[in-house]
């Protein structure tokens, strides 16, 4: 009796032991199968931002053809390459301004971008022009937070999912919600720009479960992009723009890498990473900026496209108008331009917003092209009849250092010469308290004529 009970007990324990071994074996096999199915996939992201129409090689700017050659080189080297642009592709050169941005997207097609973004300067010719950009561009132009007067997306899409050789990537696009204060009100009436953080919270929650890697194309500025990385979990990469920031190596905020590649094609961003498709996380990462001087020789097909467009403007802009003994930077140019336009308009003061000065005058020969690059927006000369207190508001954050500050009496009315962009915002802000008069001449033409006549010394 006792022997039978002991035998049954031993058998029961042996059976339990065997079941445990089998379970461990099954667990081991399951883990092995999972590991076998897990893939470590390499991805290269090449990115630009704030290209501003600099399709031809000049000064420290690479030009479209050399950037394209670099992308081709990397696509031949790596199986997965994603080529992205983070907005403000247009507005900054004669070829962009004369043809309202359209040639830039034709050139970008030749460069074979995968995805682009609407920046604030894509609105420079009015939001309806963006429809033409979309028709031309082979790459989708994203924007999740820019809405037309009917509340519809202005870009092609808010976000997308793409697959490259087994790697699923989600991409979301956002532009700064301060865009209305940076674009001309004319042609952009009734637009809405939603808060980027709020929009990203919603979009990331929607896309994150569906993708191995989540990328945000952002045109809100580097500091703001770092804040988005901290505030919105689930983003792997933020490819940024708007602030023209030189980010030598991407900044890691939590688990998000934040990058930006300066401006005008002076640098190209390069990131190489390994993505674990089981954990949907980046396991290895390197990133850097490649300066224009280190890019390969031009892609000849793209170079021909660039030349065909630049030839259309060469006779007008590649004409020497002066010589400069030194490089003249934006701060000095602001005062110089303000004097020129005040004299031209017979005004008490001239005001030229520093953000509207987009380049420098180089040492040596100065051509009309240099002035076009400095003032690429095609603004006209206007005068404002405005009260001193309102003029101080118009000067905004610049007024504490602006030389007019000491001369302005708040209760006095002044005649101010400025550009049509500033004039439009002044009438929007002050309404009937300011009178605007169009003088019917381009600011750029006034500057070129004055510099040509009197020189820069």
Q: Is 280 left (phi over 0), alpha (psi -120 to 50) or beta?
A: left
**Residue 394: is its pLDDT beyond 90?**
no
**Partner residues linked to 162 by β-bridges:** 169
Say yes or no to pLDDT of 76 above 80.
yes
Over the stretch 296-344, which tens digit does the pLDDT of each residue have? 999 999 999 999 999 999 999 999 999 999 999 999 999 999 999 999 9
Mean pLDDT of the region 73-80: 98
State phi, psi for 120 to the nearest 5 degrees: -65, -30
For residue 399, what pLDDT is reported? 56
The band of 292, judged by pLDDT with boundaries at 50, 70 and 90, is very high
Q: Quick one: pLDDT at residue 32?
A: 38
Cβ count near 39 (within 10 Å):
13
- The structure's pTM equals 0.87
Share of the chain above pLDDT 70, in %: 91
Angle at the Cα of 225 (from 219 to 227), degrees rounded to 5?
A: 145
CB 80 within 8 A of CB 167: yes
pLDDT band at 400; cut points 50, 70, 90? low
Quick one: pLDDT at residue 457? 72
For residue 402, what pLDDT is reported?
80
Predicted confidence at residue 38, as pLDDT, reads: 60
Q: Which of 179, 181, 98, 78 is nearest to 397 (CA)?
A: 181
Given a contact cutoff of 8 angstroms between Cβ atoms, the answer to whether 243 and 260 are in contact is yes
Q: Which CATH superfamily is domain 40-309 in?
A: Metallo-dependent phosphatases (3.60.21.10)
End-to-end CA distance of the chain: 119
Domain coordinates in residue numbering, the chain: 40-309, 319-454
**Tens of pLDDT, residues 55-72:** 999 989 999 999 999 999
Tell me how far apart the alpha carbons of residues 364 and 368 are, in angstroms, rounded to a whole number.
13
Nearest one of 176, 263, 170 to 219, comparing CA atoms: 176
Q: Could you tell me the CA-to-CA distances from 121 to 90, 126, 153, 155, 284 in Å, in that order?
A: 7, 10, 17, 13, 35
The CATH architecture of the domain made up of 319-454 is: Alpha-Beta Complex (3.90)
């Amino acid at each position: 009796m006792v022997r039978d009970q002991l035998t049954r007990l031993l058998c029961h324990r042996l059976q339990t032991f065997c079941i445990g071994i089998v379970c461990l074996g099954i667990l081991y096999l399951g883990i092995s199968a999972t590991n076998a199915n897990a893939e470590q996939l390499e991805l290269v992201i090449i990115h630009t931002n704030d290209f501003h129409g600099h399709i031809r090689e000049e000064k420290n700017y690479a030009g479209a053809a050399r950037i394209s050659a670099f992308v081709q080189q990397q696509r031949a080297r790596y199986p997965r390459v994603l080529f992205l642009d983070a907005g403000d592709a247009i507005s900054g050169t004669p070829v962009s301004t004369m043809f309202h941005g359209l040639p830039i997207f034709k050139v970008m097609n030749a460069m074979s971008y995968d995805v682009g973004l609407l920046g604030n300067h894509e609105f420079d010719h009015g939001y309806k022009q963006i429809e033409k950009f979309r028709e031309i561009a082979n790459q989708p132009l994203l924007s999740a937070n820019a809405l037309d007067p009917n509340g519809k997306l202005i870009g092609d899409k808010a976000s997308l999912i793409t697959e490259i050789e087994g790697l699923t990537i989600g991409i979301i696009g956002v532009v700064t919600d301060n865009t209305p204060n940076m674009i001309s009100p004319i042609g952009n009436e009734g637009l809405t720009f939603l808060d980027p953080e709020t929009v990203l919270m919603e979009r990331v929650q929607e896309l994150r479960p569906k993708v191995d890697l989540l990328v945000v194309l952002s045109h809100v500025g580097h500091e703001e992009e770092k804040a988005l990385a901290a505030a919105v979990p689930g983003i792997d990469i933020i490819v940024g723009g708007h602030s023209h920031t030189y980010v030598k190596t991407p900044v890691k905020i939590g688990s998000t890498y934040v990058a930006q590649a300066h401006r005008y094609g002076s640098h190209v961003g390069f990131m190489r990473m390994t993505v674990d498709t089981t954990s949907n996380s980046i396991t290895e990462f390197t990133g850097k900026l490649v300066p224009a001087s280190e890019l390969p020789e031009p892609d000849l097909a793209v170079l021909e496209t660039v030349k065909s467009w630049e030839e259309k403007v060469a006779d007008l802009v590649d004409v020497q108008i002066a010589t400069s003994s030194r490089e003249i930077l934006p701060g000095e140019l602001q005062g110089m331009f303000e004097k020129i336009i005040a004299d031209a308009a017979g005004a008490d003061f001239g005001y030229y917003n520093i953000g509207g000065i987009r380049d420098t005058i180089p040492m040596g020969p100065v051509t009309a092209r240099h002035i076009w690059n400095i003032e690429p927006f095609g603004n006209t000369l206007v005068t404002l009849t405005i009260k001193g207190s309102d003029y101080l508001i118009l000067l905004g954050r610049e007024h504490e250092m602006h030389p007019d500050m000491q001369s302005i009496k708040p209760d006095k009315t002044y005649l101010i010469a400025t550009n049509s962009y500033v004039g439009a915002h002044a009438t929007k802000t002050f309404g009937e308290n300011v009178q605007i008069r169009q003088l019917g001449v381009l600011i750029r033409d006034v500057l070129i004529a004055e510099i040509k006549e009197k020189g820069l010394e």
